[in-house]
Amino acid sequence: MTADELRSIIAAGLPCEHLEVDGDGRHWSALIVSAEFAGLRAIQRHQRVYRTLGARMQTDEVHALSMKTFTPAEWASQSS
């Protein structure tokens, strides 16, 4: 899997205002900004992304994914 493929999978299942994906084909990091994260704790946000990836997490197609997740307001305050 490539970073573009993983980015496309996440974007198809989760509306993102900003999405960055980087990795080596097995170990990935993602920066995800989505309004759907509003009111969710960090673990709930990560679970939401994992649901988007579905079986790819169980089949080891995506071996590891570290995430930074923000709402648009949180991201705006981080960027300032």
38 in Cβ contact with 76 (< 8 Å): no
The number of folded domains in the chain is 1
Model confidence, pTM: 0.92
User: Structural domain of residue 16, as residue ranges?
Assistant: 3-79
Per-residue pLDDT of the chain (80 residues; tens, 9 = 90+): 899 999 999 999 999 999 999 999 888 999 999 999 999 999 999 999 999 998 888 887 888 899 999 999 999 998 76
Q: Residue 50 is part of a domain; what is its CATH number?
A: 3.30.300.90
What pLDDT was estimated at residue 80? 67
The 3-class secondary structure across the chain, one letter per residue, is: CCHHHHHHHHHHHCCCCEEEEEECCCEEEEEEECHHHCCCCHHHHHHHHHHHHCHHHHCCCCCEEEEEEECHHHHHHHHC
